[in-house]
Chains A and B, each alone.
Chain A
């Protein structure tokens, strides 16, 4: 299951409010970064138990002389334990940014570290890898880029057998990947994609999660659609990824999250989604959605929204592919349980994460837009009313809800018959009174369809003081043509 996200090194006496405040700050920083297209996050792997066993875990600032001393001891110490201890001390020091800076500017230091990384002394190798990992996590480009001489070895070690070591190499690579295009331009010819494709066959869950992380960083790169995704699609990675996303007892949520994001970056880049569809992407993802909704039903709450978000996006985007248009074809998504799952998730998100409601509704739109079957499901399973309950959440949500309702209404009288009489019209009176132009605009479209296919609704509309509500908007540039048309229809019933 999800590994303990609550770090054991959480400071004692930390107030919940303080944490929330920090989180809000970080959120704001991330939003800003995203708008500037600078969204970069790294992952740090530190072993709690190891540090506890070592005792006092304070990152010390080491000076040049100390660093040199530790390196020399690690290289040439007489006693095995002594050499290890020296590297451990170096590693602890490297947790501090200042030590990192001193280290990279010290001549020969990286060379020595790489030498230790590739030595045949297993424990020194492991410690050297941990040192590198600390460096890779740095926010300073110069520090991370100083790790480049090690990359060919990190990639070589991916085809080894020691799962802890491979995991460490993968997280280090993932951190380096996200650092800059220069780093990636080196890693790609060094064969990172084939190395990952070979490594993904590992049975170790920790390795798989780390691999998913590294791959997601690679796929998130700006140049990925042109430079990276084509070779990823040409490898065996896609089919392995889909396999790892198959629902069932073997599905590991931590692993699934990483690979779901990988798929999202691939799909939204629109390089060759037809390939993913031909490999069963739609059905795998659809079944996964059912699985997650089931978990939600059982109120298993372990961070499911992290998995749901990319799955929703993948499904929604895949549905726009031409390969899916063939009605009744093998690549269609027709199971109405997908709609059921979506509603269960909507209910879940209303409570836990309202910011994800638009993404859910986006999928609902893509499912219902061209599908009489799904629209019928909405009616037969009595799902219009719950949808209406979402209207007050936000304007964005309102517009999407109204769009889905339009999808149903535009299919004709047989569908509108189920929309009125019912709670729809009163709700529409509410949205028509909104101050948001887009909400009103979409409401007008729906009203038009309702009047057209269910003329009996006009009378009810008038009784609800509909004309007065319409009047409010008759001067509004974007709305007035439609308002007048509806006024005319209502008066000439």
Chain B
């Protein structure tokens, strides 16, 4: 197919429309037995006109048997340690480190050290577990928000919310990121560990720690301010550590008690 040479430069030129030649139709044009009428045509999704293109599309989907994610070359790096205070995990690839960081250190609650998969869930957690104003308000109005993005429903209690999640959103009844808040018991020496055990739910299948907890052996930093109680900036970056970064345990329970 030969194209006029000027065409290629026209593509690169300025937008514009041709000044139309005068239109002058004769009624005999569409008179029987002739029936041509200029018209735009539309095709619905399943029309056979689309068969060839659809087949090409699916061949493409199937063809991608092996795909390199991200950059084509994924360099192996010499082993390095996570820089977050108290974390001693070792990595030999940046991708694994990225995921580790985001899972354990990114959305961490500064009150209890639990890690969450998203900012949204962290915010809900802080609100419901650590905000005393929330407790007061929730006695009078529906404060428990639905966890599903896009759903604006609110509920009187965690239980009502859970029921909504199960009924309306078909969530599993044991959804890991909707643990009921545990009532404050007397701080006991083994309390932290006991909390851990409770939070497990049907815990045996879990590996040594609550889904939302930071594992003891990971020694999550505890950025607790000494002295005054902060009312803002709950999400303190975990790289900042006040006092000694320490694992959950007897020591920390005592600290918490002091500040309550």
A binds B: yes
Which residues from chain A contact B63 at a C-beta distance below 8 Å? 5
Residue contacts A-B, CB under 8 angstroms, 6 given: A120-B103, A293-B11, A313-B53, A366-B41, A381-B6, A410-B25
Pick from B3, B106, B205: contact of A343, CB under 8 Å: B3
Q: Is B151 an interface residue (CB 8 A)?
A: yes
Which residues from chain A contact B74 at a C-beta distance below 8 Å? 49
Report B221 CB to chain A, min CB distance, Å: 15
Given A123-B100, A162-B102, A337-B11, A156-B54 contact (CB < 8 Å): no
Best-surrounded residue of B17, B25, B46 (most CB of chain A within 10 A): B17
The docked-state distance in angstroms from the alpha carbon of A383 to that of B68 is: 43
Report A170 CB to chain B, min CB distance, Å: 11
Report A81 CB to chain B, min CB distance, Å: 10
Q: Which residue of B lies closest to A367 (CB)?
A: B40
Q: Is A75 an interface residue (CB 8 A)?
A: yes
Pick from A43, A116, A206: contact of B207, CB under 8 Å: A116
Contact present for A27 and B55 (CB under 8 Å) = yes
Contact present for A44 and B64 (CB under 8 Å) = yes
Q: Is B76 an interface residue (CB 8 A)?
A: yes
Q: CB-CB contacts of A265-292 with B at 8 A, as 1s and 0s?
A: 1001110000000000000000000100
Contact present for B36 and A414 (CB under 8 Å) = no
Contact present for A7 and B99 (CB under 8 Å) = no
**Interface contacts beyond A356-B56, A358-B49: sample of 15 additional A-B pairs, CB < 8 Å, sorted by A:** A30-B59, A45-B67, A156-B121, A157-B117, A162-B98, A190-B169, A268-B44, A320-B41, A343-B3, A366-B40, A381-B6, A386-B2, A414-B22, A415-B23, A446-B36
The docked-state distance in angstroms from the alpha carbon of A86 to that of B13 is: 61
Report A367 CB to chain B, min CB distance, Å: 9
Report B123 CB to chain A, min CB distance, Å: 11
Q: Is B132 an interface residue (CB 8 A)?
A: no
Which residues from chain B contact A373 at a C-beta distance below 8 Å? 17-20
Closest 3 CB pairs of A and B: A194-B150, A7-B66, A372-B20
Best-surrounded residue of A30, A46, A270 (most CB of chain B within 10 A): A30
Given A3-B72, A26-B62, A75-B207 contact (CB < 8 Å): yes
Q: Is A365 an interface residue (CB 8 A)?
A: yes
Best-surrounded residue of A162, A213, A257 (most CB of chain B within 10 A): A162
Q: CB-CB contacts of B45-73 with A at 8 A, as 1s and 0s?
A: 11011111111111111111111111010
Report B250 CB to chain A, min CB distance, Å: 22
The docked-state distance in angstroms from the alpha carbon of A189 to that of B166 is: 10
Contact present for A365 and B58 (CB under 8 Å) = no
Q: Is B212 an interface residue (CB 8 A)?
A: yes
Q: Is A91 an interface residue (CB 8 A)?
A: no
The docked-state distance in angstroms from the alpha carbon of A31 to that of B59 is: 11
Contact present for B11 and A156 (CB under 8 Å) = no
Contact present for B96 and A381 (CB under 8 Å) = no
Q: CB-CB contacts of A23-54 with B at 8 A, as 1s and 0s?
A: 10011001100110101011111111100010
Report B86 CB to chain A, min CB distance, Å: 15
Q: Which residue of A lies closest to B205 (CB)?
A: A115
Given A194-B148, A365-B40, A34-B55 contact (CB < 8 Å): yes
Given A195-B149, A375-B20, A119-B206 contact (CB < 8 Å): yes
CB neighbors of B among A137-178 (8 A): 149, 152-153, 156-157, 159-165, 167
Q: Is A121 an interface residue (CB 8 A)?
A: yes
CB neighbors of B among A333-348 (8 A): 334-337, 340-341, 343-344, 346-347
**Chain B: interface residue total (CB-CB under 8 A):** 103
Given A118-B176, A375-B20, A415-B21, A34-B54 contact (CB < 8 Å): yes
Pick from A9, A120, A444: contact of B66, CB under 8 Å: A9
Given A45-B67, A189-B170, A306-B60, A406-B36 contact (CB < 8 Å): yes
Contact present for A297 and B149 (CB under 8 Å) = no
The docked-state distance in angstroms from the alpha carbon of A257 to that of B34 is: 42
Contact present for B53 and A123 (CB under 8 Å) = no
Contact present for B2 and A389 (CB under 8 Å) = yes
Contact present for A42 and B15 (CB under 8 Å) = no
Which residues from chain B contact A5 at a C-beta distance below 8 Å? 63-64
Contact present for A413 and B24 (CB under 8 Å) = yes
Contact present for A3 and B15 (CB under 8 Å) = no
Contact present for A452 and B26 (CB under 8 Å) = yes
Q: Is B39 an interface residue (CB 8 A)?
A: yes
Q: Is B232 an interface residue (CB 8 A)?
A: no
Contact present for B62 and A190 (CB under 8 Å) = no
Report B228 CB to chain A, min CB distance, Å: 31
The docked-state distance in angstroms from the alpha carbon of A486 to that of B65 is: 58
Given A194-B149, A306-B56, A445-B34, A317-B20 contact (CB < 8 Å): no
Q: Is B213 an interface residue (CB 8 A)?
A: yes
Contact present for B58 and A481 (CB under 8 Å) = no
